[in-house]
Each structure stands twice: as structure tokens, then as C-alpha cells.
Structure 1
Amino acid sequence: MQTHIQPNHKVSNNRPSFQVWWRLMRPHTLTAAFVPVFIGTTLAFLETSIDISLFVTMLIASLLIQAATNMINEYFDYKRGLDTAESVGIGGTIVRDGVKPKIILNLAFCFFGIATLLGVYICMNSNWWVALIGLIGMAVGYLYTGGPLPISSTPFGELASGFFMGLIIIIISFFIQTGSITSTSVLVSIPIMILVGAINMSNNIRDLDGDKKNGRRTLPILLGKEKSIRFLAALFVISYVWMVCLAITGVAPLWTLLVLLSIPKPISAVKGFVGKSEPIQMMPAMKATAQTNTIFGLLLSIGLFISYFI
């Protein structure tokens, strides 16, 4: 397959710059990795003292797995002819910067390998069942765009990303610190699971037309654009209502209602999709969706932390 390169992106024999590798990791998606770790660890802080080394190790491992998943996405989308130099929202290291696809795939596997080694340390200091869950998570990261039937081409992309990058990471982060799983840790993880899935949903809304032409069957393709935007709005509403219910019923501290301060972001995200037809026009809406998860998650962590002292 011929590589497409924009005229203003020259490929030389020089090594790719740091900016190239940074774009490859798609940093705007990394919020789906570090926010759940912060929340799970903060929940654990309410019950026990925190092992900082375990927290840092879990954080790095989660970021590596997310970055590796993005690289595998870049590799397979290129191989299937889905990415071109004009594609919006991609790292562009292959089609615009001329990096060899095999290098990107090997780098992804290297990241998985480092995450596995970090996982061994986590298991040695917690429980070896964590290793099984971690391996399943990496397998899902690969199969999201790899394999004969990529998850990203089905209506289950949002569910898979939300479940593994939201709920599971929070539960593991909580478990490795406390040695247990509580109903509160599970219930508090639900809105983050939804918001991580919403990041995926926003990406699929942006790429709806292109995905449809390439034979994908994503959720937005099944719903149609207008219903998809309404569905995205419903996901935001459910996340906030869920947290309000947890705070009112005493499952979560009242201070967690700080998450309500982030409401302008999802409103901006939904409005950003309405009436837009070109992928480039929808990029601010997708960014606002990712920021919703980030700000919501950080405010939730702050609320949990404050409640410990009050």
C-alpha cells in the first residue's frame, strides 16, 4: 500500500522528533488511563494508607497500555487503508511522518512488555489474580483494532473501552491498595466507565461517514448521527445524576458533588457536534468530551480527598 504524505510534512532520513512520538500516543486519550487510577487510589485512601510505589507503578502501566493500544490502532488502521494523510484525529506517524509501520507495532509490543513487568511488581505486592486481569486488558487493547473482527468495527467499542479503561482500572487501583473490592468502589466507578465510553463514542461520531464507507458497524452508524448525539448527551446526564444519587444516599461523600462544576464541558461537547458535518469541525467537541472525563474525574478525586479530612 502506498504511503500518502502531505506536502508540508517532509520525510527525511533523520530520526522522528519527540513531537512525532508524542502524537503517536494520542495524548488526548490518555485521560482514560490516568483518571481511573487517581480515583481508585483516592477511594483506597479513605480506607487505608497508600503505597506510593504501587500507585506510581499502576499509573505508568495504565498509561503504557493505553498508549500501546493507540499505536496498534494506528498500525492496523493503516494496514486496512483507513488512514490517509488527510485523516483527522490520528497520530499520522505513518501516513504523514513516514515512520515504518513495523516500528510502531514493535514499539506497542515493547510498551506492553514494560507494562507486564510493572504488573509483576504489582502482583508481588498484592495478588496474582491482577496479572490475569491485566493480560485480558492488553488482549482487548490489541483486539480493539487487531484480529479478524476488530472490536472498533462493532457496536461494542464504547462498552469495551469504558469497562476496561474505566471500571476495571478503578477497581484494580483500589484493590492493590486495600486487598478488597467494595460496593462503593464499584458504584463510584460507573460514571467514569460511562465517560470513558463517551470518549470513544465522540470519536466514532466524528468518524461516522468514513467508518460507514469502510464497512464498519459502530454504534453511531447503527443509531445515525442525530440519535448518536442524543445518546452521547444521555451518557453525560446519567453520569452526573448517578453521582448526585450516590452523594444524596450517602454512598459517596457530599464533597463528590464537586463534579457538578464540570457540567459546562459536556454541554460544550454536545453543542459542538450539532450541525457539524466535517470531521475537523467536530474535533473541539471530541476534545471537550475527553476534558469532561478529565475534569469530572479530578474533581471527584478532590472531593473524596477533602472528605477524608472533614
Structure 2
Amino acid sequence: MTEVANAADVSRTRAWLMAARPQTLPAAAAPVIVGTGLAVCDGVFAPLPALVAFVGAALIQVGTNFANDYFDAVKGADTEDREGFTRVTQSGLISPAEVKRAAAVTFGLAVLSGTYLVYVGGVPILAIGLLSVASGVAYTGGPYPLGYYGLGDLFVFVFFGVVAVTGTYYVQAAAVLADPLAVGVPEGTVTAAALLASLPVAAISTDILVVNNVRDMETDAEAGKTTLAVLLGYRWSRVEFVALLALAYAVPAYFWATDFGPTVLLPLLTLPYAAAVARTVCTERSGEALNPALERTGKLLAAHSALFALGLVV
């Protein structure tokens, strides 16, 4: 374990921060940044819906982190042999009941913050919001936990990428173009450009999970947690990582080749950094090497998304 912690040595505040895992928040901010950049580009920027979308996304991210911490511990997936960052439930820093309660409260706050977005975007946002919260719980909880049956990568790609970016664009476009409390999807609120722009965020967000699962492959297999990495093995998991990176850089090139100016190529400035992370993922197995790679993949997501949004705005 890379971040060994004793209950006696860790304050309650630090323990809760460890459980919330603020280092994962780029996965919540990135889709909002890209969706907002495209909204500015298309002349449908609405600041309040964009801000509330970020708050909701961040709460769902933190709630999912709490739920993962709790369910992985009670299911026995987190053990002393795990090489990842300290999990507060498994390590005894916070009781299981408290972590479970924190997950419920955080998801509840996400639903509460989403009521304004439901007013702006109507029934589609209500359905997406409830499905996102349910999936956050079902990632490691419930009768068929997605992460335990090789579906975690698909979950992240869809909800932290495609749904999050297009949803951010949708609520802003709906605020500008449509009446409140729409039943259907108003015209001009879901575009092909928004769907395409979501793919780099989806790809790099999924790569964060790939690094995590490659690092934990052996302990997950022993615990009966069948992630996609366990199913694919080291070689094909690394192929997946590189293929998702390729998708992340192909999309800005496609935008440039169609109707957008050369500034959409700004994410290519992060290619050397991405190559360095990929080199580590493709050659290392230990937590000592892959934990820093996990953090660097999160930073790559933030940088790529910020530059892509900037390029769209300019």
C-alpha cells in the first residue's frame, strides 16, 4: 500500500478528504469545461446552468468515491495487499456506516442541486440525473455491481464523458433556446458537435480507470472483482489505454478538418506529457509507478480539456 495510514495518526478532516478523493475532481470539471467551451462557441453560453452542472457533477463524483470506498471494503475487494491509495473504510479510519451515510447525503445533495437544472432542461435532465446517481451507486454496489463485471470502463466513458459533456451543453442551450420544463429534447440543444466533443473527455476519463485497474489487477482477481483489466490482461489493457488516448487526440484533428479553426488543435500541446504517461502504463505494474501515473492521467484530462475548450472558444 502506497499511502499507509493509522487511525491514530490521521485526523478526521484528513480522513474524510482521503475518502472524498479531491484528486479525482478533474473528472467532474473536465466535461463541464468542454461543454461550456462549445456553448460559448455556439452562442448558447448560460453561466448559471454551467455552474450548477459543475456542482452536480462534483457531488456525483464524490458520492461515487464514498460508495466505492464503502462497497469495496464490505465486499472484500479492498485488502491489506492493495497497492492503491488508502481506503478509509477498509483501513478503519472511518466506520462503514458513516461512509455509507456520507455517500447517501452526497448523492442527495446532487439530486437537490439538479432541481434547478430540471427546471431549465425538463424531463431529459431529470432522467439523466437520476440515472447518473443510480449508476454511481451501482458501480460497486447493488446486486450487479458494474465494476465487478467488466462494465466499469463503459460506465465511466458514458456517464463521465458523453453524458456529462452533452448534458452540460444541453442545459445551457435549453436555457437560451427553449422554454423551462421541457418534456422532450428541444431543437438545437443536443448537437453532433457536442457528442463528438465529449469523446476526448470520455476517453481520458476512462484511461484514469484503466490505470487504476491495471495497478489492482492481481488483487482484484484474487478478491473476485472482475474488472475489464482482469478480463483483458496486461497487454490488451495497455492497448485499450493507448487506443483511448488516440481517440482523445483524433477528435480535435477532426474538428479542425471540418468547420473549426486551428486553435482546436491546442490539446496537441499535451501529447509529450501523454506519451510519458503511456510509457509508464505500458511498462510498469507496481503501485509505486502506477499511482503517480494515475495522478498524471488526471492532470492530462484537465489540461487537454482546458485547451480544447479554449480552442473552441477562440
Aligned equivalent of 1:137, options 120, 124, 132: 132
1:57 is the counterpart of 2:58: no
CA distance in 2: counterparts of 1:187 and 1:228, whole angstroms: 24
Partner SS for 2:90: coil
Counterpart residue number, 2:215: 206
Aligned equivalent of 2:163, options 168, 176, 181: 168
Counterpart residue number, 1:47: 42
Aligned equivalent of 1:228, options 208, 231, 237: 237
CA distance in 2: counterparts of 1:8 and 1:216, whole angstroms: 24
Aligned equivalent of 2:291, options 273, 283, 286: 283
Partner SS for 1:94: helix
Q: TM-score, normalised by structure 1?
A: 0.90
Counterpart residue number, 1:3: none
Task: Trace 1:223-302 onto structure 2 (pairs within 5 A).
Answer: 223-250=232-259, 252-302=260-310
Letter in 2 for 1:229: R
Letter in 2 for 1:255: T
Shift of 1:85: 4.7
Shift of 1:97: 5.2
- Number of positions where the alignment pairs a residue of Structure 1 with one of Structure 2: 299
1:255 to 1:7, Cα distance in 2 relative to 1, 3 A: closer
Counterpart residue number, 1:194: 203
CA distance in 1: counterparts of 2:140 and 2:261, whole angstroms: 39
Kept in 2: contact 1:167–1:190 (CA 8 A): yes
RCO greater where, 1 or 2, for CA within 8 Å and sep 6 or more?
Answer: 2
Counterpart residue number, 1:303: 311
1:9 is the counterpart of 2:6: yes
Deviates most, 162-171 or 262-271? 262-271
1:96 is the counterpart of 2:91: yes
Q: TM-score, normalised by structure 2?
A: 0.89
Question: Any stretches of 5+ residues in structure 1 without a counterpart?
Answer: 1-5
CA distance in 1: counterparts of 2:25 and 2:4, whole angstroms: 30
CA distance in 1: counterparts of 2:211 and 2:229, whole angstroms: 9
Kept in 1: contact 2:77–2:225 (CA 8 A): no
Kept in 2: contact 1:262–1:296 (CA 8 A): yes
- 1:240-265 C-alpha deviation (Å, 9 max, x unpaired): 12321221122x44211000011122
Q: Report the RMSD for the aligned CA atoms in angstroms.
A: 2.1
Letter in 2 for 1:9: N
CA distance in 1: counterparts of 2:42 and 2:99, whole angstroms: 41
Question: Any stretches of 5+ residues in structure 2 without a counterpart?
Answer: 175-188
Shift of 1:155: 2.1
- 1:226-279 C-alpha deviation (Å, 9 max, x unpaired): 2211221121112212321221122x4421100001112221222112442322
CA distance in 2: counterparts of 1:282 and 1:105, whole angstroms: 28
CA distance in 2: counterparts of 1:125 and 1:114, whole angstroms: 18
Letter in 2 for 1:269: V
Counterpart residue number, 2:179: none
Shift of 1:95: 3.3
CA distance in 2: counterparts of 1:45 and 1:103, whole angstroms: 41
Greater share of helix residues, 1 or 2? 2
Counterpart residue number, 1:71: 66
Shift of 1:151: 0.7
1:155 to 1:100, Cα distance in 2 relative to 1, 3 A: same
1:171 to 1:9, Cα distance in 2 relative to 1, 3 A: same
Counterpart residue number, 1:125: 120
CA distance in 1: counterparts of 2:4 and 2:152, whole angstroms: 34
Letter in 2 for 1:190: L
CA distance in 1: counterparts of 2:140 and 2:215, whole angstroms: 17
Counterpart residue number, 2:225: 216
Kept in 2: contact 1:65–1:115 (CA 8 A): yes
- 1:142-186 C-alpha deviation (Å, 9 max, x unpaired): 000001221111222111111111110111110111121111111
CA distance in 1: counterparts of 2:43 and 2:147, whole angstroms: 38
CA distance in 1: counterparts of 2:114 and 2:52, whole angstroms: 8
Kept in 1: contact 2:20–2:62 (CA 8 A): yes
Shift of 1:16: 4.2
1:49 to 1:154, Cα distance in 2 relative to 1, 3 A: same
1:201 to 1:7, Cα distance in 2 relative to 1, 3 A: closer
